[in-house]
Amino acid sequence: MGQKAIYNFNAAPEKVDFTLHATIEAICSDILNVAGADAKKNGISADVLMQQNRSWVLSRLSVELDRLPEQYEEYNVATWVNPHTSRFISTRNFELSDVNGNTFGRALSQWCVIDFVRRMPVVLEEVEGLFDPDYYCDEQSPCEAPRKVRGVEPAVTRKHEVRYSDIDFNRHVNTMRYIRMMLNTLPIEYLTEPRPLRLDIHFAKECHLGEVLTIGYEQRDNVSLFEIRNGEDAVACTAAIEWR
Amino acid sequence: MGQKAIYNFNAAPEKVDFTLHATIEAICSDILNVAGADAKKNGISADVLMQQNRSWVLSRLSVELDRLPEQYEEYNVATWVNPHTSRFISTRNFELSDVNGNTFGRALSQWCVIDFVRRMPVVLEEVEGLFDPDYYCDEQSPCEAPRKVRGVEPAVTRKHEVRYSDIDFNRHVNTMRYIRMMLNTLPIEYLTEPRPLRLDIHFAKECHLGEVLTIGYEQRDNVSLFEIRNGEDAVACTAAIEWR
């Protein structure tokens, strides 16, 4: 069985907002970069899968943040992958801690491997390298799996045309951009001081360069709900931020 | 006299575009982060100046890139500040090199110190800490100073409303966002493969949350010209990218 792998970060100025704390987007970006770096270390990164016309696709993500790191603060992100309990979904966990080892954040991500030729998810057992027993760690997930986000009834909508800076190596909208679009639609009052939160996000469809997306927002008590629709009015991404 | 200070970077996945090379925005961000880190090391960072109601403001920047680093490539940014030749403008230089020491990029930035109370630039001699002789390095600038960009006649315009993710610790539009807005307005054909280039950019006015900016673009032979106007139709930023 494998161990947790630990990656070090620093809340450099480009990661902070006007509160001088790291943004939710920056922390989620760290989490995904850790996933990428750790997959690369284990020989199963997206660029290796690409040689077989396959790639990792993030399906769902939950993130709990008790606080957000201050500018220049150092912090660690530990990551581990649980043995598969599903044929198609790989669960990667994360734990964020400060330099004294105090945990301040937890995350759980669910990934599929997609075959570009068949446009279908691949049974994980068929993916070379995913059999290495050192890759898995039995330690349980640090937070609840991503919750379903349904029935968003937007009270506010905003349009966003997908441009160059939005797209990733696949020419699809970068996962982080959906989070940015949502935070950009939220009333700024929710962001004027850092608050503990839980984010649940579900990626349903890929969006492409030139598409005009519609970002919908609804506030329901202490939960901010979001829905992003693609150029054909199909739901591309839904999310909820519970302010704690 | 001081020495060049050297900072190490890596073209991590979040810095690259679909060509799997670092973006122009990411390199400019590295350059500005080096400026911030080096000023901090010398005790004259923005957060120190802030205690005197002052801050550094970037006025002009020129960047020459012979190539863009590939994903995961390591590179170095050297920086040094020339002795002032102007009462108000401090010149900070940069040189980008690969792990073998080959230079592939050069930049020159011109900064003012602004007094927030008087809303005026400060005579640099009045700024404490800017007298330390170890702070200056006599080595000449590695490229031509920022050129003036005038008379842009936009053939294409695009609107952009300033949102949460656009603003910096001062609640003004982050310098890097102007570069992003320009690249997002450029026809994608200019970005489908990395090309040598020179960027000249001039920051004239600060823009604020909620303002709707107009990004104008004109192609003149091998030069892409840009002009960003604020909500009152005044020029906030101009730039030129010469494709080499």
Task: Compute the C-alpha angle A177/A183/A188, nearest 5°.
Answer: 150
Return the sign of the alpha-carbon dihedral for residues B130, B134, B140, B141.
negative
Element containing residue A48 per DSSP (H, E):
helix A46-50
Closest CA to A33 of A130, A86, A109, A91: A109
CB atoms within 10 A of CB A133: 8
CB B226 within 8 A of CB B214: no
Per the CB < 8 Å rule, is A188 touching B164? yes
Q: How far is CA B55 from CA A77, B46, B86, B170, B234, in A?
A: 33, 5, 18, 9, 23
Closest CA to A156 of A198, A224, A215: A215
Distance from CA of B73 to the nearest CA of A (A): 14
What would the two tokens of residue A176 be? 């982080």
pLDDT in tens, A150-205: 999 999 999 999 999 999 888 899 999 999 999 999 999 999 988 999 999 999 99
**Tens digit of pLDDT at every position of chain A (244 positions):** 778 999 999 998 889 999 999 999 999 999 999 999 999 888 888 888 888 899 999 999 999 999 999 999 999 999 999 988 789 999 999 999 999 999 999 999 999 999 988 889 999 888 877 767 777 888 999 999 999 999 999 999 999 999 999 998 888 999 999 999 999 999 999 999 889 999 999 999 999 999 999 999 999 999 999 999 999 999 999 999 999 9
User: What number of H helices and E strands is found in chain A?
Assistant: 3, 11
Best to test chain B binding among A48, A163, A189 (most B CBs inside 10 Å)? A163
Full-model pTM: 0.93
Nearest by CB to B171, from A18, A25, A168: name it. Answer: A18
CB B201 within 8 A of CB B146: yes
CB A135 within 8 A of CB A39: no
CB A83 within 8 A of CB A119: no
Cα atoms in the 13 Å half-sphere on the side-chain side of B53: 6
d(Cα B80, Cα A167) in Å, to the nearest integer? Answer: 34
CB atoms within 10 A of CB A46: 19
Residue that is written with structure tokens 């996000």 in the block: A201
d(Cα B144, Cα A112) in Å, to the nearest integer? Answer: 50
Cβ contacts of B25 on chain A, cutoff 8 Å = 165
d(Cα A4, Cα A78) in Å, to the nearest integer? Answer: 6
Instruction: Look up residue A88 and give its DSSP letter.
Output: S
Distance from CA of A186 to the nearest CA of B (A): 9
d(Cα B214, Cα A42) in Å, to the nearest integer? Answer: 46
Task: Compute the C-alpha angle B168/B172/B178, nearest 5°.
Answer: 85
Tell me which chain B residue has its CA closest to the CA of residue A12.
Answer: B33
**Tens digit of pLDDT at every position of chain B (244 positions):** 778 999 999 998 889 999 999 999 999 999 999 999 999 888 888 888 888 899 999 999 999 999 999 999 999 999 999 988 789 999 999 999 999 999 999 999 999 999 988 889 999 888 877 767 778 888 999 999 999 999 999 999 999 999 999 998 888 999 999 999 999 999 999 999 889 999 999 999 999 999 999 999 999 999 999 999 999 999 999 999 999 9
Across the A:B interface, residue pairs with CB atoms under 8 Å apart total 63
